[in-house]
Structure 1
Amino acid sequence: MSTLVHAASDSTGVSTRKFLTVLIALGIMIAIIMAPSPAGLSPAGQRVIAVMTFVVLMWITEAIPYGVSAVALIFLLILALGFSPAGNDPGTILGTAKAIPLALSGFSNSGWLFVAAGLAMAASITSTGLEKRVAYLILKLVGTNTHAIMFGIILTAFALTFFIPSVIARAATLVPIVIGLIEAFGLPRSSQIGKAMLLLAGILPSVTGVGVLTGAAPNPVIVSFLTGAGQAQLGYVDWLVYLLPYTVLFSIGLYFLATRLFRFEFAELPGGSEYTTARLAELGPMSATEKRASFIMVLTILLWATDKIHHVEASAISVLCVLLLVMPGVGIITCNDLYKRIDWNSVLLFGAGISMAEMLTRTGGAAWLSKVAFVESGMGRLSVTALAIMIFVVVFFVRFCFTSITSCLTAITPAIIGFLVSLQNPDLPIVGIVLGVALIAQCLSIIPVTSAPAMIAYGAGGFTTRDMMRLGLPLATVMYGLIVLFMFTYWPLVGLWK
């Protein structure tokens, strides 16, 4: 009974803290709205900044669920824009009727369509078991040496990136496979082998995802931000050329750190290849559903890769893929089953987040924030290299404030783009700097709470936060070292850096 009372007391305490957090955040939002408008900032921009402040605090503290924060964001945007002056006439307000399509603009954005389709694709593919077959085939291919298995986990993560366009879904696929491998050694998950493998499973989904345009939800959203700011449209192949080599080298660095920082108990998996053979035998022959899923995904990847030839946007191709996946007689899942498997909270969050970013840009809020944060601080007077490095350092610290990579990039990217555009420097590699920000946000892996895949792996109980820091801190050094290396070598060659 005392345990139940204690648990109820803890729950009440958490609820009270969250309630107080929401009240404080609302108070801050209202204070920003009521404050005198600074020079150069429109009333609408000021109110959108106030709404953004409230929502970002909700994302950082997780005082309310992400799905709830998305609905709240849409409602608050309607009010903020609806009761703001329409155009240059301070005596006329826009009205909530005209504000509704503006607050929902993110849901008509190609980046949101890409994300929603990607979540549907991930839910469809994981319903077939195809991803597990791909993973075990790769592990069987690389052999049963412990270092080879570690390499196999990396290959598996890259392969799954092309089949499952969802970071969380890949982590949910990879972690159980890794747990099975650890158990095959007859060791606890907290063993040296167990820690290293689980850390790889928690870090890799985000790392491999940033190397492929369809590999992580923030990627197409960033493309939308850049296009909206007048930058060139990035295609599927462009993204691969710019970032995939980086993620490959970063993963090699991760492999060397993991295999040297942890002293493995065995050099060879007991039972050898019998383990992976047994797992494949359990899956049985490849089903007709898996074959159809494979064909649809290969076709989709080919269409993504040849977008420069047929000129069909990647988001439209993703919609075609979803259509094929649910089409009777051709597909692999019914619409009802797909509906139950999709994470609708994420769908709402991405759409609302894009709406916020677009309104921040349209009202001049992003430009004003960038001016205050970067221009007036003197960063705009730095050389291109020094400016890029300073932005990357700022992103490093800001990243710890967010438990969601997508929330972090959605919140900070518009302000960074606005600042870079405001400098009006033709020699400034705006796309390159923004992609560098994406690399840092998605590759930074120091504590579990800053990414969902790391939390999924952490939930398996094999490693501690200290274990992750032991690997993550030197890995952060590798991350920045590679970025600087690419700034002076590879990226200028492919036209990303000047």
Structure 2
Amino acid sequence: MGKYAIRKIGFFIGIIVFVIMLAMPTPEGLTPIAQKVLASTVLMVIFWVTEAIPIAMTSYLPLIVFPIISLTGAKGQNDIQLFSHYAYTTVYLLVGVGFLSGAMVKWNLHRRIALGIVRKVGAKPKNLILGFILAVAFVSMWMSNTTATVMMIPVALSITAALKDTDGGFKKALILSIPFAATIGGIGTVIGTTTNPTGIGLIRESIGLDITFTDWLKIGLPFVIVIIPILWIYMVKFFKVDKMKDIDVSAIDNEYHKLGPMSKGEKFTAYIFLFAIVAWMTRSQVWGKFIPFATDETIAMFAALLTIVVPVNWKEGEYLMDMKTAIKEIPWSACILLGGSMVMGNAFKDSGCAAWIAGKLGGLAGLSPLLIVIIVGVVTAIITELTTNAVVVAAFLPVLASVGTAIGVNPLAMMLACMLACNFAFMLPPATPPNAVAYGSGEIEMADLIKCGLGLKIICLIVFPVIIYGITMGVFGFGV
């Protein structure tokens, strides 16, 4: 069944299910308001998963549906808020980071960082794979995973074009390492992938836990540090790269030298980039006590302001970024998705719908908390192959928060399991844009992506509960 057929079917199924759920008698224990919220939530989830309409437009559905079904409107009747959530604080983190990452792309700073790492690893094929993995993972911690992938695929192709790789093993290993490393690297920081700000916002609203930039490093960075070496060993062994002869890496040197010396704009962007990183990492422990109302969003927007006011050529009126370019670089779809998920998540909680569902799942209370977390991870990892990561987080985190509280399992552990596992999208092109970019290069087959991705998915599913309980909540004691 084609993608467009799925969209059409999803559109009609979503509407039919929505109408049926509104018309049916209110289930016992559920209020009429909660029934409307549940129907709206199911409609949005179906539309999100099938992409019946663009994901961002689905996120705007509450603005249309809620007033029509007399659920809420501009005044926030029934304690269900609507418009305010589309301007949620984390949206401004995404906006500010959009300015900063746009400046890095404009002045080629991201490319210099990536190529600089790769060219240091030497001529051995397995080391070159490691260089690409490290470079892509690091860059994707600070900007879009898709951008990191798009940037490095042409470099990889220029290298493989000059090789006598008869069975294509090295080429496949190199091409697939890029999207996998981008996806894993994006987990490392708050700004590395859109799922992180979305999930953090929902955690803040659902269980009242404010996760700062430094806090997330205790969650995401250990996972990256553990998985990246495993990814390297896995790719080398899966494609038998360790048995190949040394190769000519002059193509990397050529690409790096084409960049020339660092331009003024590149240097200024690097300074602002480093300033933002240091500010994020030191806010809660160092300077935050002197400016108590500052947040990670404050830093992001200040960095954005700097890219607009710092001149590269004062006489010509040229600055690091202009507003037209900056506006294009902001991930607007992610901002809208975050707003829509916040509306849905809060309505789900405030209406009593989440508590009602949690009561229906009370039978899970007898299971081991570790087993429940693993089940959440496995289910999420399967679903994330069929739809985008951020959609999975937006749809399931509000439910997991209430279920965890109801059955006596740490809701944070369940929500983190979902946030991590939704990134284990390694098997199919539609699962994540980096996969689609790699597959679109024409250098790998679908079978390569599925077989290699499945093994990596299983490895990640084994590792993630160890990270959550052993390091995040064990060593750091975060969320205990």
Q: CA deviation at 1:73?
A: 4.1
AA partner of residue 277 (structure 1): D
Structure 2 stretches lacking a partner, 5+ long: 289-293, 313-318
Q: CA deviation at 1:464?
A: 2.0
Name the SS of the counterpart of 2:311 in structure 1: coil
Out of 424, 432, 457, the residue aligned to residue 451 of structure 1 is: 432
Q: CA deviation at 1:216?
A: 1.1
Q: How many angstroms apart in 1 are the aligned matches of 2:162 and 2:85?
A: 47
Alignment pair present for 1:289 and 2:268: no
Partner deviation per Cα, 1:410-441 (whole Å, 9 max, x = no partner): 10111111111223x4xx43323322221111
Look up the match of 1:277: 253
Q: Structure 1 residues 359, 366: closer, same or farther in 2, change over 3 A?
A: same
Look up the match of 2:49: 60
Q: How does the TM-score come out when normalised to structure 2?
A: 0.89
Alignment pair present for 1:175 and 2:153: yes
Q: How many angstroms apart in 2 are the aligned matches of 1:458 and 1:386?
A: 34
Look up the match of 1:325: 307
Partner deviation per Cα, 1:259-304 (whole Å, 9 max, x = no partner): 111134843222x4x3222112211111111111101100000001
Q: CA deviation at 1:65?
A: 1.8
Look up the match of 1:310: 287
Q: How many angstroms apart in 2 are the aligned matches of 1:19 and 1:158?
A: 36
Q: How many angstroms apart in 2 are the aligned matches of 1:17 and 1:162?
A: 33
Q: How many angstroms apart in 2 are the aligned matches of 1:43 and 1:401?
A: 32
Partner deviation per Cα, 1:359-412 (whole Å, 9 max, x = no partner): 22222222223333x32xx1122232222223223323333342x100111101
AA partner of residue 58 (structure 1): F
Q: Structure 1 residues 488, 294: closer, same or farther in 2, change over 3 A?
A: closer
**Identical columns (%):** 20
Q: How many angstroms apart in 1 are the aligned matches of 2:135 and 2:3?
A: 39
Alignment pair present for 1:389 and 2:387: no
Alignment pair present for 1:110 and 2:94: no
Q: How many angstroms apart in 2 are the aligned matches of 1:473 and 1:16?
A: 26
Q: Structure 1 residues 42, 176: closer, same or farther in 2, change over 3 A?
A: farther
After superposition, the CA RMSD in angstroms is 2.6
Name the SS of the counterpart of 1:442 in structure 2: coil
Look up the match of 1:7: none
Look up the match of 1:490: 471
Partner deviation per Cα, 1:193-222 (whole Å, 9 max, x = no partner): 121111111112121111212211111222
Q: Structure 1 residues 345, 186: closer, same or farther in 2, change over 3 A?
A: farther
Aligned residues: 465
Partner deviation per Cα, 1:22-51 (whole Å, 9 max, x = no partner): 223111111111122222323222222222
Name the SS of the counterpart of 1:137 in structure 2: helix
Q: How many angstroms apart in 2 are the aligned matches of 1:234 and 1:367?
A: 24
Q: Structure 1 residues 431, 260: closer, same or farther in 2, change over 3 A?
A: same
Q: Structure 1 residues 490, 18: closer, same or farther in 2, change over 3 A?
A: closer
Name the SS of the counterpart of 2:193 in structure 1: coil
Instruction: Please say if residues 122 and 169 of structure 1, whose CA atoms lie closer than 8 Å, have aligned partners that are also in contact.
Output: no
AA partner of residue 301 (structure 1): I
Q: Structure 1 residues 364, 38: closer, same or farther in 2, change over 3 A?
A: same
Name the SS of the counterpart of 1:229 in structure 2: helix
Instruction: Please say if residues 86 and 340 of structure 2, whose CA atoms lie closer than 8 Å, have aligned partners that are also in contact.
Output: yes
Structure 1 stretches lacking a partner, 5+ long: 1-9, 85-93
Name the SS of the counterpart of 1:225 in structure 2: helix
Name the SS of the counterpart of 1:224 in structure 2: helix
Q: How many angstroms apart in 2 are the aligned matches of 1:471 and 1:365?
A: 40
Name the SS of the counterpart of 2:270 in structure 1: helix
Partner deviation per Cα, 1:114-138 (whole Å, 9 max, x = no partner): 2233333323321221111111111
Matches within 5 A, 1:97-136: 97-98=75-76, 102-136=81-115
Q: CA deviation at 1:173?
A: 2.1
Instruction: Please say if residues 62 and 340 of structure 2, whose CA atoms lie closer than 8 Å, have aligned partners that are also in contact.
Output: yes
Q: Structure 1 residues 347, 242: closer, same or farther in 2, change over 3 A?
A: closer
Q: Structure 1 residues 97, 19: closer, same or farther in 2, change over 3 A?
A: farther
AA partner of residue 416 (structure 1): L
Name the SS of the counterpart of 1:392 in structure 2: helix
Out of 412, 417, 439, the residue aligned to residue 401 of structure 2 is: 417
